Structures are given as C-alpha cells and as structure tokens.
Amino acid sequence: MKELSQAILNSKKSKIRKLFDMLLQSGPEAISFGIGQTDFTTPAFIYDGIIQALREHKTLYAPALGIPQLRKAIAEKFRNENQLSWIKTENTIVTNGGSQALTLTYAVLSNPGDEMILSSPNFISYYYLADYFHIKCVEVPRQEDYSPNIEMIKEKISSKTKFILINSPNNPTGYVYSESEIKAIVDLVQDHDLYLVSDEVYEKFLYNRAVHISPGSYPGMDERTITLNALSKSFGATGLRCGYIGASLPIIQNMEKYIQYTTAGVNHPVQYGAVRALKQSEKMNFPDIIERYNKKRIFCVKRLRELQFEVVEPQGAFYLMPKLNQAWKMTADEFSEDLVKEQKVACVSGTAFGSFSENSLRISYATTDEKLEEGFNRIEKFLKNRNLI
C-alpha cells in the first residue's frame, strides 16, 4: 500500500485524550485535572433555544457562514465587549467549535514554506495544525513568569513569517497579556506586514483585576487580526461545538469556501441556542462564576507550594503550569503517567505543549471543590509514597 499523509503519520495522539482514555479504565473514583471543561453545564436558556429550533424543524442545511441571527449577535458582541468597532455581520463566521475556528484560520493564511511565531508553552493544537498545513511553527520560549519574550519574538521574524498567534488568557499557563505586551505585538505585526491570530476563548476568566484586551481593537488592525472565540468555556458548552470568528471580509469569504467543501456548516439547531447565549449572556452571572474559580485557583496555588512544586500564579483561564521540583529527578511524562496508574489522578505532561516545558505539568482546576481537594490529597500521597516530600 502507498504511504499515508506524512503530516498525520508524524503527529501523535493528544496526551490529553490519552490521559482521558486511561482514566476511563480507572473506574468512577478517577479524578481528572486534565480536561479543560468547566464544572458547570450549559444553562437552560441556551438549550431551550436549541429545543425550540428542533420543534420548528430547523434541521436542514444552515448557511455555510452561519445563520444571519447568530452572525449579527456575534458582530454585536465583538463591538460591545471587545471594542472591535469595525466588525459588521459580514465580518463574522460560525464554526464547529474553537477547533474549527483554528483550522479555518490556518487554512486561509498558510502556504507551504510560510512560518508562524508562537510563544511556548502553548495550546497543543497550534503545533499540529502547522504541520497539517505545511508551515513552520517557530517557538519562542516564554520568560520565567510565562510572559512573552517580545525581543526574541522580534528576532525570530523573517521574510517567511506570515502570522503571530497569541492566546490570552492562556492555555496552559494562565498568563494574561498586559496592555503594553499587546501593544508591542501589534507594533511588530504592523511593522513587519504580518497577520495576528488572537484566540480569546478564555476572555471571561480573569483574576486579580487582570484585564482582557483584544488586539483587533487597535487602529489599523482590522485587516490584520483574526479573532477567535467559542461558547465552550464561558457557557459550559464544550459539547455543543459552536465557535466563531471575526476578521476582514476577504478572510471570511475564503473561510466560507473552505467550509463549503469540508463540513458544509455548523449544527443548525445549536446555532439558535448560541443566539440566546450571546444576546442573554447576563443570565450566566459571570461575576459569581469567576469568584468561584478564583477560590479554586488560590487553593491550587497554595497546595502546590505546600507540595514543593515551583508555581507561577496564573491570572486567567483555569489552568496552572507548575514545574516539578528538580530534586525529584522525574520527567513530567513519568510523573503524569505514574500518577494516573498509582493514584488515578490525571495531570497533563508539559511536553504536550511545546519544546520548553518538559519539566512541567498542566493542571486544570475546572472541576468541583471536592475533586480538587481529593486530587491534591492523592498527589501528596503519591509524593510521600516515593519519599519525595
């Protein structure tokens, strides 16, 4: 038989999904700190919209760009919440979750031989999508506090660079870009005639007065910025697979072509639930959600330090990326896999998130307080059983 795609053959199964599969075999007492999925579920006002759409037989093909009502709501959301004053309905497209939003972005921007720049560690999909679309992912190591190294990013820009990708608040580090850092990235993009991809799916999850800033709100960035978002995190709706993009008209038009010949559109009735999500988002009571998650964040930082991990306190999202104590002489891969086997707790090895986090773990605290407490008790037991603390 002739060889299959090299890009796919050379990619690896997601370590996050691998841990998830291992946990499924561990029984009901297993605890996952590995999946980025909130402990609250999709609220009734959203699925009521989906149910109504089903009753009205909204089960035929939807427009490839998305239903007009949802695209209008997306444009209003971008203008009102993100200060993207230039976005109109025509500058939006609905996607099958944030994952397809990323795929569309790579598909439209990339030609073989192009390069993209990414601060590392970062979200796992960014790396493999680069391979799938035959472009080079240039990793720039983050600084010790997980902030972007602006000077090194500048040094890595070449004639082949097509875009810079940022994700703030960040998965896996929890880092939130400051206003000065966003401005510095914007300046680099404009000075070097680049595109900027801004993944903003965690924009609601901010702590200690951190502020989310959309780079597309800066003057001159309307044609250069592709802003990605989704219902998944803010609305507890990972399984609905509904994301969206704001970008210039030529980019949106080309994304539409890609969708027409691949997925042919997004689940029709789900889009009516998404309209309600965006137009009635005040029903979510985000301040209460963030207060709960802030308490989880504080608890995790405290426990990790008690257990002698090196911890940078995150300011956003719902992840921490602690470093293993060097005295333990364990790799993150070993720690992660042994912890699942011995204590049935899943933490993702940092090696899943790029080239510069092989001694780190990613921990998601988007779970119940009871599971957080029990999970850390098991991590403590794991360390004590090995005489590491």
Query: pLDDT, tens digit, for every residue of 167-184?
Result: 999 999 999 999 999 999
Q: pLDDT per residue over 290-321, tens digit each?
A: 999 999 999 999 999 999 999 999 999 999 99
Residue 340 confidence (pLDDT): 93
Residue 282 confidence (pLDDT): 94
Domain with CATH 3.90.1150.10 in the chain: 6-42+285-385
Residue 19 confidence (pLDDT): 64
Architecture of domain 57-283: 3-Layer(aba) Sandwich (3.40)
Residue 268 confidence (pLDDT): 98
Per-chain mean pLDDT for the chain: 95
Residue 26 confidence (pLDDT): 65
Q: pLDDT per residue over 14-38, tens digit each?
A: 666 666 666 656 667 899 998 889 9
- Record the pTM: 0.95
CA distances from 352 to 65, 246, 355, 371 (A): 32, 28, 9, 24
Residue 229 confidence (pLDDT): 98
> Which residues in the chain show pLDDT less than 70?
13-27
Domain with CATH 3.40.640.10 in the chain: 57-283
Architecture of domain 6-42+285-385: Alpha-Beta Complex (3.90)
